[in-house]
A and B are shown apart, each in its own frame.
Chain A
Amino acid sequence: MSKLRYALYTGCTARESTPELLKSTLAIAKKLDIELVLLDEASCCGASHLQDFDPFLSLVLNARNICYAEKKDLDMVTICNTCQLNTAMTKHKLDSDPELKAKVNEKLEEVGLVYLGTSSVRHFLYALIEDYGLENLRDRVVKPLSHLNIAPFYGCHNIRPSELHHHFNRTKENPYNPTSLDELIKALEGNSVEYEHKNKCCGFHVDLQAPKTSNILTGNAIVDALDNNADVMVTPCPLCHLNLDVKQKAATKAVNRDLPNPMPILHLPQLIGLALGCTPQELGLQHHVTEVPA
């Protein structure tokens, strides 16, 4: 297999409130001999909130981010579900509407850039599954996770709207019965936990204006995972992670449950890293608000 190379769009969260996500992503890329070229020029994707305010500006900024992957002649990978959604949605709109693409390019030309549409945009999870392959990943496992019951929490913006994600993530992931994370957990020899809330919303996007809604949705997910004997939850989205990890106490309180033990929440690359033999420091486990027991 020739060396895999991607342009990594980190998103903002991985550089601020979840530094462990960037750390662990780079750590597993090194172990798997995947080259990730950081897109340091990129701006925020707007997280669907800029889109509520100024949709045209959000298209221009996201197109600019993709331009930098195109300039490096690389496909883009994302490590945040919401970045994936907004970047893919921009790409979909520009690639299917030449008039809109021309309008966006008119702005981009002012700063010497042009959006072509040559780079694909995928979440790192699906790049790992499709390009690296679960069989190859299984071969690299040095510390099988067979002692762990792992509840996958998929996060909305990687599975819905399904048509968009089928196209860009190149998967047939069913939003009502997603399986990619379950299969990945099995490749790491862990036990994947089946529970109703695995494809439900964590409520992150209304954290500020409707904290009660957000806390109940997050609390429901954690309690459901716990009731199905999960030892740990794993998510490919740092925004879900913030809700599940940082807000865990408030969330479980909102659904009137005292947890016997806190539920550790891992980022996807942290889980993979544990199986590949990375150290807790390399994976940034010390950055979690809800402690991850050794």
Chain B
Amino acid sequence: MKLTLKVFRFNAETDYLPHYDTIEMEVDPKEVVLDLLNRIKWEHDGSFTYRRSCRHGICGSCAIKVNGRSTLACKERVVDMVDTFGTELILEPVSKKRAVKDMVVDKADFWQKYDKVIPWLVAEIDEHPKMENIIPPREAEKLEDADYCIQCGCCYYACPVVEVNEEYLGPAAFEKAYRFTADVRDHAKKDRLEIVDQLGQGVWDCVKCFECAEACPKHIDPIGKITKLHNQIFEEGVAKSNVATRHAVGFKRSIKKHGILDEGNLVLYSEGFGVFKHIPEALEMFKKGKIVLPWNMPKSKNLDEIKKLVDIASTVKF
């Protein structure tokens, strides 16, 4: 099979802008993307630079983007990439703006944010224990697959919020936070939850795009862990009353009253006095018939059922 590879080339020490090399290559469909990287270096240009180590999808070094999709080069079969994108493959680093040389990126911000969630077990453990500090299987199940993260950064560099909000800790750090908040041996659960509860850096700034879930080569589902952190923030009484928490709680309030969501009231309830900044937009919407006035608010049929279910099935208080 003949492929056209467009390869991102950049050297932060000498280049002002990156460029792309075009390489035609006869490829065995059984090869993985890492084989292509090797062959570019060995057969075309010895200065081509990329990270690699284990070749078994466990070290997380060789994360790159193929046609915009984050992946581990050693795990991804060429044939699957061709199925998805055709015979022209664009090879780029996981983050172009963090490129140092070719496929190699500077992961400093990734690690700084990772550090912020206290990514280790906080527990008073006897220095000379008589037995291992283990947890029963039922408790271990709560960690789900959160332990499998290899810090490759695929989710982090696929997250659109990381690109526009420098404070935002990102899916990998949240995933790691959950790994310990779900661990019964850990003594820093509340500290961690307070870190991820902060507006700006925390889970409330997640746009719920599922890019992280799609990008994770270990299928860990980081956004699933983000949702669990949201839940724990309420369960553990860490949640403070702010626009984000009231927004989540407002749905229950509104559903109990109307069945369907009262959009206007939700904004009012979430924002409090901050609602004033929405007035110009609300007026424009009103002119176009996009705002239902409170006395015209539709209600779901059989609303009594919904009210009853909200009463008997609620599991969380705020």
Tell me the A residues contacting B by CB distance below 8 Å: 12-13, 15-19, 40-44, 46-57, 60-61, 64, 107-108, 110-113, 156-157, 160-162, 174-177, 196, 200-201, 203-206, 208-210, 212-214, 216-217, 246-247, 250, 286-289
Residues 260-288 of B contacting A (Cβ, < 8 Å): 260-261, 263-264, 267, 270-271, 281, 284-285, 288
- Flag B209-225 by CB within 8 Å of A: 1 or 0 each: 11101100000010000
Does B248 reach chain A (CB closer than 8 Å)? yes
- In the bound assembly, the distance between CA atoms of A18 and B263 in angstroms comes to 11
> Which of chain B's residues have a CB closer than 8 A to the CB of A214?
207
CB distance from B96 to the nearest CB of A (A): 12
Does A53 contact B284, Cβ atoms closer than 8 Å?
no
Smallest Cβ distance from A136 to chain B, in angstroms?
28
A54 contacts B314, CB within 8 Å?
A: yes
Please indicate which of the listed interface residues B263, B310, B313 has the most CB atoms of chain A within 10 Å of its own CB. B313
Q: Which residues of B contact A (CB under 8 A)?
A: 67-69, 84-85, 160-161, 164-165, 199-200, 204-211, 213-214, 221, 227, 230-231, 234, 242-244, 247-252, 254-255, 259-261, 263-264, 267, 270-271, 281, 284-285, 288-292, 298, 300-302, 304-306, 308-310, 312-316, 318
- Contact between chains at B288 and A160 (CB < 8 Å): no
C-alpha spacing A49/B165, complex, angstroms: 21
Least CB distance from A12 to B in Å reads 4
Q: Are the C-beta atoms of A156 and B209 separated by less than 8 Å?
A: yes
CB<8 Å pairs between A and B, sample of 7: A15-B260, A17-B291, A53-B234, A53-B251, A64-B305, A201-B207, A214-B207
The reply to whether B213 and A161 contact each other, CB–CB distance below 8 Å, is yes
Docked-complex contact B207 and A16, CB < 8 angstroms: no
A201 in contact with B300 (CB, 8 Å): no
B261: contacting residue among A12, A57, A247, CB under 8 A: A12
- Cβ contact within 8 Å between A201 and B160: yes
Name the one of A57, A175, A201, A246 contacting B290, with C-beta atoms under 8 angstroms. Answer: A246
Least Cβ–Cβ distance between A13 and chain B, in angstroms:
7
- Does B227 lie within 8 Å of A51, measured CB to CB? yes
Q: A16-B292, A201-B211, A209-B199 in contact; A50/B160 too (CB < 8 A)?
A: no
Measured CB to CB, the closest approach of chain B to A246, in angstroms, equals 6
Given A16-B263, A175-B214, A208-B244, residue A43 in contact with residue B252 (CB < 8 A): no
Partner of A53, one of B288, B308, B316: B316
Contact of B252 among A41, A57, A112, A206 (CB under 8 A): A57
**A247 with B260: in contact, given A57-B252, A160-B211 (CB under 8 Å)?**
no
Residues of B within 8 A of A204 (CB): 207
Residues from chain A with a CB closer than 8 A to the CB of B285 are 17, 246, 289
Q: Which residue of B lies closest to A160 (CB)?
A: B210
Q: Which of A19, A56, A57, A156 contacts B210 (CB 8 A)?
A: A156
Q: Is the CB of B254 within 8 A of A113?
A: no
| B281 neighbours in A (Cβ, 8 Å) | 246-247, 250
Closest to B202 in A: A209
Contacts A43-B260, A44-B255, A50-B252 known; 14 new A-B pairs at CB < 8 A: A15-B292, A16-B263, A47-B261, A51-B227, A53-B251, A57-B313, A57-B316, A156-B209, A160-B210, A203-B160, A209-B243, A287-B290, A289-B285, A289-B288
